[in-house]
Structure 1
Amino acid sequence: MLPLILLLLLLPYSALAASAEKTTLFVNHLYKGNVALEIVHQRPCLQHELLEEWSVMDSQLAEPIWTAEGCLDPQSPALAGEIFRYRADLNMLTLTLPESWFDSLLGGVTTSRWDDGINALFSSYSLNIDRERALSEWDETGVSSTLDFNSGLNVGPWRVRYQNTVWSDPSDHGSYTRSMAIWRSITPLRSRMTIGDSTSSDAVFASLPLRGVSLVSDETMYPNSWRRQAPWITGYARSDATVTLYQGGTQIYRTQVPPGSFTIRDYLPSSSSSSSTITMQVEESDGTEHTSLLPWVSLPNLVHEGVINYEVLAGHYRPTYKSSLPQPVFWQGTLSGGIAQNLTLFGGIQSSAAYYSVASGIGLALRADSTLSLDVTQSQDSGKKTPGRGEVWRLRYAKAFFSNNTSLNGLVAYYPPGSHFHTLGEKISQASYSSASLDNRRWRAELNLSRNFTEDITLTMGWAQQAGRAPGSHTRTASLDLSAVWEEVDISLSASHNRYGHSLAENTVALSLSLPFTFGSNYLTASHVTQVDRAGAVTQGVEMDGTAFRDFSLRYGMGAYTMRNGSERLAGNLGYRYNAGEANVSFENGSQQRALHGDLSGSLMWHADGITAGQTLGETMGLVTMPASAQAGVYNQYGTTTDSRGRLLISYLTPWRVNNITLDTSGMSEEMKMEVSRQEVVPTLGAIVRADFVPALPSVKKEVKK
C-alpha cells in the first residue's frame, strides 16, 4: 500500500486541474471569487457542476442543451431568464439568474475555488487549574492542573498536527502526547491521506484509534445532493444568533440565523461520524447561550450513483495514556459503491494477529425520504484468551418527515445462538479477562426521535436496549427532553431511565423554569430547578445567569441548591471573552467539598505578517486583515474585533463549502469605508484562508471655476 500512496503524492495535479483562466465572478450581485471559467465567444461556459455550486435546480432548467465541451448551450431555452455582462479588460463576469432557480440543499462547489490557504504555524492552548478542599475523609485535597496544546503547521496542502498535555496533581506530574500526524487532502481522488495518528471510520467496522498510514474517502468534498440523506436540525433563536454544532467535543459546524425558528439543512456528517450525539449551542446576540443534545444516527453506507467510497489503512492500535492494553498491528480495507440510483453495496476486510473479520451489506434509498441498510459482519478469533467465531446482523433505518420537522432513526443488531462474535476493539480490551459477557449477547436495539412541533416546542426522545441469553444480562436506557417557550418563560423538562440486569432502575426527572430580564442592553435570566431521583430525593435550586458590558463579553452566574437530607450547595461562575481568548473562574461550596476552578484559553498564529492572537482555533480557520485603525468585527467570530494591526482570527470555517466572511462595521469610524464588506472563501480541510478588506478610495470632488 505504501508504494501506492507514494505514487498518489507524485500525481501531476496540474494536469488534472482546469486549464481555463480564472475569472472574477458575481452571481446575482454576490461575489463568488475567482473561478476557472472558460469564455467562448464572449459568453461564459456554464457547466453542470458550476450550476450545482450555485444551487441551481435541474428541474428549473427548461430543456437544457449541453455542448460537446459540457457547457450549457447559448441557444438552450434554459437560458431564457439569464442576463450576463462580461468585461474582457477586467476579466470579470456579472451574471443574473432568476431566484426561483435556486435551492440551498444542492450546495456543491466547483473545485477551482478550493483554497489551500496560507502557510502558517499556530497553537491553541487551554490551562485548567482546580483547587479542592475535602470535607470528608474519602475525598482528596490539593491543587491539580492541566495545560493542553493543539498545535499545527500548514504548508501548501500539507497539514502537520500535534496535540500534547502537561499535567500535575498533589502526588505526581508529567506530560504526554495525545496525537501527532501529517496529512493532506487528495482532491482528484476526493480523499485524505494521513501518516501518524488517526481514527478509522465506523462506516463498516467499529472505529479504532491507530498510529500508521491511511487513505480514506472524504464525502464532504461532494455536493450535498450527492451525499446521503440526513434529517434536518431545527431550533429557535430569540435574536440574531450563532448556532454551533459539536460532536465528540469537536466543533463541526457554525452558522448565523435570524430571530425565530430555524432549520439547518446543509450540514451532513463526515463519513467517520455515523452515530454519535450532537450538541447544539445557540448563542444569542446578547451573549446568552442555550444548549441542547441531538441524538444522531445516520446511514454511513448510502452513496450517490457512480460514487465509490473507500478506506485503506495499516498501523498498530493506539491506546489511551497510561493504558496497559496491547498494541497489535492491524490493517483494514472497506469499499462502498453506488451501483444504481437508490442502491449501494458495501463491504470490507479487517485483519490482525490471530484475528480476522469480513463484512458485507446493502443500502437502499426508499421513497418518502427514508433510507434502509442491512449488513452482516463475521469474525474469527484464534487467540488464546478469546477464541471463537461468530457473526452479527445489523439493520438500520432513517426517515425524515420534512413537512413537520421530524426525524426518526433506528438500529437493530442480532447475534445468532452460539455466536462468539468479537470486534477487534473488543478482542484487544478483553485480552486480560474473560469474554463471557460478549458471547452472551442476543440482540441490541436503538431508537431516536426528534420533533419540532412549533417554533417554541421541541421534543427529543432516545431509547436503547441490549439483551443477553443468560438471565439478568439485559440493559436498558431511555431519555426524554422537552423544551418550550411560553410567554417568554423557558420551560425545560428532562427525564432519564437506566437499568442494568436485576439491579433497581435509576430514574431521574428534572424541571427548569427560566424567566429573562433586561437591564438596559444587558440580559439576566432567573431559573428554578427541581430534580427527583429514583429514591425520591428532591433537589431544588435557584439560578441566575447574565451578561454585562456593551459587547456582552462578561458573563456571570450564581446558583443555590438544597437537598432533601438538608445538605446545601452554593456555586458561582464568572467569564470574560476577549480578542485573544477567554478566561473563566468558578467555585462550589457544599456540605462535603469546596472547590475552586479557573481556566484560560486562546491561540497564537505565526504568519507572513507577524503574530496574531485569537480565541481557540478549530480545524479549518480564517485570517482577516484590514487597516489597523478599522477596529471592526466579523459576524463569523462573535465578541472579537481586529487588533492594533488590523488582524483577526476566525476560529471555524466549513471546509469545501462557500463561507461568507461579513464585516461588522458598527464600531468603525465614519471616515473608514471598505470597498466590499463581505467576501466568499472556500477553504480545503484544515486550511487557513486569508480575507483582505481594503478601504475604498475617497471620492474627489472637483470645484468648477466659473
Structure 2
Amino acid sequence: MSATRSGRRRKSSSTLPRRLLHGLAVAGAVAAPAVQAADKVDDSATEVSFDRSMLPGAGQGTTDLSRFERGNMVLPGLYRLDVFLNGNWVGRGDVRFAAPTPEASAQPCMDATLLAQIGWAERKWPADIQARLADPKACVAIDELVPGASASFDQPNLRLDVSVPQALLGGHARGYVSPEHWDRGVNAALLNYDINDYRSHSGGVTQNALFASLNAGLNLGDWHLRHDSTFLRQTGAGPTRQHWQNVDTYVRRDLSSLRAQITLGDAYTGGDLFDSVSIRGAQLATDDRMLPDSLRGYAPVVRGVAETNARVTIRQNGIVLYETTVAPGPFSIGDLYPTGYGGDLDVTVTEADGRIRTFAVPYASVPQLLRPGISRFAVVAGELHDTAIHSHPAIAQGTLQRGFTNLWTGYVGAVALDGYAAVELGSAFNTRMGAWAVDLTEARTRIPGQGSDQGQSLRVSFSKILPATNTSLSIATYRYSTSGYLGLRDALTARDLARGYSQRLDPNLPGFTVPGSVLTPAQQAALQGASDNFRLYTNRLDRQRSRFDLSLSQPLGTRGGSLYVTGSAIDYWNRRGTDVQFQAGYNNHFGRLNYSLSVARTRSVFGQKSTQAFLSFTLPLGSGIHAPTLGGNYTHESDGHALAQATLNGTLGEDNALSYGVTASHDNGSGTGGGSDNAGSVYVGYRSPIAQFNASAGGGSGYSQASLAVSGTVVAHPGGVTFGLPAGDTIGLVQAEHGQGARVLNSPGTQVDRHGYALVPYLNPYQSNVVQLDPKGLPLDIGLDATSMQTAPHAGAVVMLKFPTSYGRTVILKLRRSDGAPLPFGADVLDEQDRPVGVIGQGGRALARLNHPGGRLKVRWTSDSASPMQCGFAYRLTPVEHREARAIETLDTECVMETAPGKAL
C-alpha cells in the first residue's frame, strides 16, 4: 500500500467519531462548511461506551456502535511521517504500521532506518530481536527494544513521536539533525530586491534619488551562486549621476563532514581575530549554524556521578534551565543552551531514594570561549578586493579556535599580504571570578617611502554577572598597543595614502563635503596630491595607544526599571587628549506607559564632540489588537539644538497587513544656523502576499518630501515562478495543489497562490523548521491531508515542502429506506471501493465528502440481530467550476436494499 493511499485511508478511519458528531449536527437540517480537524489523534484506544437510551427513540434502529468504543483506530500500512525523538525532529521517512490482531489498532514497527534516525543504528540487540528486525513481516515495538520507551502517532500532522528516557539516549545533543537529513533543496533562481524612490523639494530645487539593492542567486545541486549589488541614480541638483556597484559575487557549497563551507569568488572574510575585508579568491571556514542550537555559543559541560536512576536539575539565578534523568554512574551534560554572558550553574542531583546532593559549576563567557571539543577554523587565499581599499595585494589568512576544557579555549591566527603581516595568539578562560580572554598580536607594516613599523597589541577581555545584585558586566575590554602597531585596515589605509590614493577622504567625490576648518593645510595639500606631504599626513594618522570598552547593565527590582552604561575611552600615541564616548540610560514603565531616559557623548570622524540627552515614551491607546500606539521623544544637544517629536502608529487588517504612522515635530534650529521649524509626515505600509509596499510624505518650512518603496522576493523553480515577501538566504516553497487561499502560519500575510505555491521567507539552516498551513480560506472541495511539515535545509537552499491535498465535494445526504423509514444511526456510508465517506446521523442524514462528480454509494450497518444489512443508491452532483464559491449541496434520495456481504436477501 502506498504512503499516500495509506494516509488517506487512515484519515477516513480516524475521523469516524468526528463524522458521527457531524451527523448529529446536520440532524437539524443545518448545512455548514466542513471544518478541517487538526487535533492530535489519541492512539491509546481509550475504552468508552455509548448509552443508546440517550439517542432519539431510545436508540431503536441504531447500528452497532462498539467500534467507536475503541477510540481512534489506526489501519495497517506504510505512512510517510516526520519522526520526533523526545520532541526534537530527527527526520522524515516511511514507517510501517502493523496490527497484532484484526480488531486492534496498528502500531509502528521499528526497522533499521527508524533506528538510525533516533541514533540507535550501532546498538547491539539480542539475536532474537535482530532476527525479527531483519524479517520484513515481523513487527518489533519500541518498548521491546527499550523499556519505558513509547511511540505516539499524530495522524492529522503525519507525525510520530518517540519518547525515550533521557538516560538511555545516544550522544546527540538537543536539537541535533543528522546531516543526512539536511535538505539541499531544488534547483532554483532567486532575486531579493529592495527599491526606493525618494523625491524632495527645497529652496526651489527638486531632487530625486532612486536606490535599488539586489541580491540574486542560482542554486544548482549543492552549489549556490550569489551576487549582491546596489544602484543609485540622482537627478535634480546638477548633472544626473548614477552608480552601479558590485558588492560581492561568489559560489558556495557545504562540506558537511567538516562542518564548513567553501566559498569561491568575491566575499568578505570572517572577523573573529582580524579585521573583516573583501577578497577575491577561496575561503574554507566552519559555520556554527551547522551545530545544534544547544551547542552554539559557550556553556560549560556539567559532569557528576549518580548512584541510582537520579534526577539532575540545573538552575541559574534560581531559574531551572535543564532537568533530566540519568542512569547510575558518571553522567555528562554538554548540551545546555547558552544564556548570555553566564552566571554560575547550581546543580542538584536527586537520587531515587530521596537523597539530594548539590554543587556549582562556574559559568561566565566572553565571545572567544568555545565548548569543549568544538573548533572553528578559516583558511583564506586570494586577492584583496575591498571597496574601501584601492590596492589589490595577494592575501593569505588562517585562524583556528578550539575549546579544550570547560575552563580553557585557545586560538591562533596569522595574516600576510604585501607590506603587512600579523600573528595573534590568545586564550580564554572560564573561572569563578568571571570569564577572561587574553591575546597578543604582533604586526609589521611597511609604508611606501617611510620604511617599516613593528609593534604589538595586548587585549584583555572580562565578563561577569554578580548574582547578589544581578549586575551584568557584559564585557569589558582593555587593549594596549605600542607605537608601531597598526591593525589590518589601518595599515591598508596608510599604504593607500602613501601611494596617493585618497578616495576615502576625497572632497571631490560626489556627495562628500569636508568643512575646511577640519583639515590642516598640510592635510588638504596631501589630499590634493602634493606628494611632499604624504609622509606628513600618514604620520598624523591616529595611532591608538590604549582603549577601554565597557558594557554594564543593572536591573533595579521588579518595579525599579533598569540602568545601563556603555562607553569607551581611547588615547593615542601621536596626539594629546583622550576620546571619551559613552551612553547611559534608564528604562521603566508605569502601567502601560513605557519610558526611557538616556545621555550620550559622541565624537564625529572630524573630531567634533557632542553631548546629547534623550527622553522617549510609548503608550498603547487601547487594549485591542489594532489599538494604536502614541509615542514621543525629546532630544537636546550640547550646542543648544533641540527636537521634539510625537508619533501615532498602528496596524489594521487581517494579519496586521496594513501599517500606518503619523509624526509631528518641532525643531528649535539652535546650533544649525536656521530658525525654528515645524514639520510633519505620514507613513503607510502594506504587506501583500507577493511584496511589501511602503509610502511616505512629509514637509516643513520650505521643504517637502515623498517616497515610494517596494521590496520582495522572486523565485523561479521547477514548478514555475513564485513571488513573495522579502526573504533571507534560505527559503521554503510550499506546494499545495489547488490550495489557493491557504495561509502559511509561519509567515503572516503569506498565502498559497493560484498555482498552488507559497514562499516561506525565513528558514533556519541545518535545524528543524516547522512549516504550518491554515486550511481556512481553502476552496470547499479541497482538503489538506497534513497541516504541518518539517524541514532542515542547507544554508542558501530553496526547499520544496509538498503538502498533500485531496479533492472532494462536501454533500449533505438525506436518505430513507424504501418503506420511508430512516436509516439507522451510526451506519457507514461507503463508496464503490468500500472506503468510508460519512456516517448516518439523526433522521437518516449524513455529511459526506465525495471525490467524484457521480457514482454509487452504499450504506452498511448491523441489525439488532447481528445480521449485516446494506442499501445503495446512485448520485450525480451538479457540475461546478473548480474553486467556485458555493454552498454545500444537498441530495435527497432513496436507499434501495441490497445483498449485504455475508448475507443473501
**Do these two structures clear the TM 0.5 threshold for a shared fold by scoring above it?**
yes
Instruction: Report what 2:545 is aligned to.
Output: 442
Contact 1:575–1:582 (CA<8 Å) still a contact in 2? yes
Among 759, 766, 786, the alignment partner of 1:676 is: 786
> What do residues 389-414 of structure 1 show as CA deviations (whole Å, max 9, x unaligned)?
00101112334679998753324343
Aligned to 2:572: 468
Relative to structure 1, is the Cα distance of residues 308 and 635 closer, same or farther in structure 2, using a 3 angstrom cutoff?
same
Contact 1:574 1:586 (8 Å CA) reproduced = yes
Cα distance change of structure 1 residues 438 and 405 upon mapping to structure 2, 3 Å threshold: farther
Per-residue CA shift, 1:17-59, capped at 9, x if unaligned? xxxxx9852446886432699xxx947799999579xxxxxxx
Partner SS for 1:430: helix
Going from structure 1 to structure 2, the CA distance change for 1:329 and 1:550 (only over 3 Å counts) comes to same
Match of 1:543 among 642, 647, 658: 647
Structure 1: which amino acid aligns with 2:546?
A: W
The answer to whether 1:183 aligns with 2:248 is no
How far did residue 659 of structure 1 move? Answer: 1.0
Q: Which of 739, 757, 762 is the aligned partner of 1:652?
A: 762
Map of 1:522-541 to 2, 5 A cutoff?
522-541=626-645
Whose Rg is larger?
2
Instruction: State the shift of 1:208 in Å.
Output: 1.4
Query: Within the alignment, does 1:197 sit opposite 2:266 as a pair?
Result: yes
Instruction: Report the CA distance shift for 1:674/1:453 in structure 2 as closer, same or farther (over 3 A).
Output: farther
Q: Which amino acid aligns with 2:550?
A: L
TM superposition shift of 1:545 = 0.9
State how far apart, in whole Å, the 1-side matches of 2:287 and 2:719 are: 32
- Given residue 446 of structure 2, which amino acid in structure 1 is its aligned partner? S
Once the two structures are overlaid, the 10-residue window that deviates more, 454-463 or 641-650, is 454-463
- Report the AA paired with residue 621 of structure 1: I
Residue identity matched to 1:574: V
Counterparts of 1:412 and 1:341, CA distance in 2: 22
Matched, 1:151 2:210: no
Give the conservation status (yes or no) of the 8 Å contact 2:90–2:176: no
Structure 2 CA distance for aligned equivalents of residues 682 and 470 of structure 1:
54
In the alignment, is the contact (CA less than 8 A) between 2:268 and 2:278 conserved in 1? yes
How big is the shift at 1:223?
2.9
Equivalent pair of 2:143/2:149 in contact (CA under 8 Å): no
Aligned equivalents of 1:461, 1:78: Cα separation in 2: 57
In 1: Cα distance, 2:644 partner to 2:216 partner = 43
What code does the residue aligned with 2:750 have?
Answer: T
Give the structure 1 partner of residue 475 of structure 2.
Answer: 410
1:383 aligns with 2:447: yes
Which residue is equivalent to 1:289?
A: none
- Inter-CA distance 182–299: structure 2 relative to 1 (3 Å threshold): farther
Counterpart CA distance in 1 for 2:466 and 2:385 is: 41
Local SS of the residue matching 1:657: coil
What is the alpha-carbon distance in structure 1 between the residues aligned to residue 603 and residue 661 of structure 2?
34
Q: Distance in 2 between matches of 1:357 and 1:446?
A: 23
Separation (CA, whole Å) in 1 of partners of 2:399 and 2:373: 17
Query: How much does 1:588 deviate?
Result: 2.8
**1:513 and 2:617 aligned:** yes
Q: Which structure has more strand as a fraction of its residues?
A: 1
Q: Distance in 2 between matches of 1:405 and 1:638?
A: 37
CA distance in 1, matches of 2:721, 2:606: 60
How far, CA to CA, are the matches of 1:268 and 1:160 in structure 2?
A: 35
Distance in 1, matches of 2:773 and 2:142, equals 40
2:192 alignment partner, one of 111, 116, 124:
124
Name the aligned partner's letter for residue 635 of structure 2.
Answer: Q
User: Which one of the candidate residues 59, 83, 86 is aligned to 1:25?
Assistant: 83
Contact 2:193 2:213 in 1 (8 A): yes
Work out which of the residue numbers 633, 655, 680 in structure 2 matches 1:570.
680
AA of the residue aligned to 1:533: E
Equivalent position of 2:31 in the other structure: none
Cα separation, partners in 2 of 1:602 and 1:583, compared to 1, 3 Å = same
1:477 is matched with 581
1:262 alignment counterpart: none
Q: Per the alignment, do residues 174 and 79 of structure 1 end up closer, same or farther by CA in structure 2, a change over 3 Å counting?
A: same
8 A Cα contact 1:153 1:160, kept in partner = yes
Name the CA shift for 1:68/1:498 in 2 (closer, same or farther; >3 Å).
Answer: farther
Q: Give the conservation status (yes or no) of the 8 Å contact 1:420–1:438.
A: no
Alignment equivalent of 2:230, drawn from 155, 165, 169: 165
Q: Equivalent of 1:685, from 795, 798, 813?
A: 795
Match of 2:814 in 1: none
AA aligned opposite 2:401: S
Kept in 2: contact 1:412–1:443 (CA 8 A): no
Deviation at 1:469, TM superposition (A): 4.0
CA distance 1:483–1:664, change in 2 (3 Å): farther
State the SS of the aligned residue for 1:703.
strand
Provide structure 2 residue ranges, at least 5 long, that are not aligned to the other structure: 1-79, 96-108, 131-140, 301-335, 342-363, 498-533, 670-675, 809-835, 839-857, 861-869, 871-896, 898-905
Percent of residue pairs identical: 24
2:121 paired with 1:83: no
Q: Are residues 1:209 and 2:313 paired?
A: no
Gaps of 5+ in 1: 1-21, 53-64, 232-264, 275-296
Q: 1: distance between equivalents of 2:244 and 2:540? A: 36
Q: Do the aligned partners of residues 414 and 27 (structure 1) sit closer, same or farther apart at CA in structure 2, a change above 3 Å counting?
A: closer
Moved more, 651-660 or 530-539: 530-539
Match for residue 326 of structure 1?
Answer: 391
Q: How many Å separate the matches in 2 of 1:534 and 1:194?
A: 48
Q: 1:451 to 1:581 in 2, by over 3 A?
A: farther
What is the identity, as a one-letter code, of the residue corresponding to 1:343? W
How much has 1:485 moved relative to structure 2?
Answer: 3.6
Equivalent position of 1:302 in the other structure: 369
Q: What's the TM-score once normalised by structure 2's chain length? A: 0.59
Per the TM alignment, residue 179 of structure 1 is displaced from its structure 2 partner at its CA by: 1.3
Aligned-partner residue type, residue 149 of structure 1 = L
Match of 1:145, SS state, is strand
CA contact (8 A) 1:581 1:614 kept: yes
Could you tell me how far 1:612 is from its partner in structure 2? 0.3
Give the Å deviation of 1:306: 3.2
Cα deviation 1:324-374 (Å, max 9, x = unaligned) = 722222111112223334322211111111221111111223348x53211
Mapping of 1:553-632 within 5 angstroms?
553-565=657-669, 566-591=676-701, 593-632=703-742
Moved more, 696-705 or 459-468: 696-705
Output the CA distance in 1 between the equivalents of 2:754 and 2:195. 26
Q: Does 1:392 align with 2:454?
A: no
Once residues 610 and 116 of structure 2 are traced to their aligned partners in structure 1, the CA distance between those partners, rounded to angstroms, is: 56
Deviation of 1:441 after TM superposition, in Å, equals: 2.0
Quick one: structure 1 residues 608 and 586, their matched pair in 2 at CA, closer, same or farther if it must change by over 3 Å? same
Give CA-to-partner distance per residue, 1:540-574, whole Å, 9 cap, x none: 22211122233421211111111234321212211
Structure 2: how far apart are the matches of 1:621 and 1:482?
39
Distance 1:693 1:78, change over 3 A: closer
Does the 8 Å contact 2:89/2:768 carry over to 1?
Answer: no
Secondary structure of 1:382's aligned partner: strand
2: CA distance between counterparts of 1:191 and 1:550? 42
Residue 485 of structure 2 aligns with an amino acid whose one-letter code is F
Whether contact under 8 Å (1:479, 1:496) holds in the other structure is yes
Which deviates more, 376-385 or 475-484?
475-484
Question: Residues 366 and 463 of structure 2 are in contact (CA less than 8 Å); yes or no, is this contact kept in structure 1?
Answer: yes
Q: Calculate the TM-score normalised by the size of structure 1.
A: 0.75
Change (3 A) 1:25 1:181: same
Aligned partners of 2:378 and 2:400 also within 8 Å: yes
Paired with 1:475 and 1:486, the residues of 2 have a C-alpha distance of 37
Task: Name the CA distance, whole Å, in 2 between partners of 1:325 and 1:575.
Answer: 40
Conserved in 1, the CA contact under 8 Å of 2:389 and 2:493? no
Aligned partners of 2:456 and 2:438: how far apart in 1? 13
- Contact kept, 8 Å, 2:738 with 2:782, in 1: the verdict is no
Task: Give the whole-Å Cα distance in 1 for the aligned partners of 2:608 and 2:391.
Answer: 36
Q: Please, which of 34, 41, 47 is the counterpart of residue 92 of structure 2?
A: 34
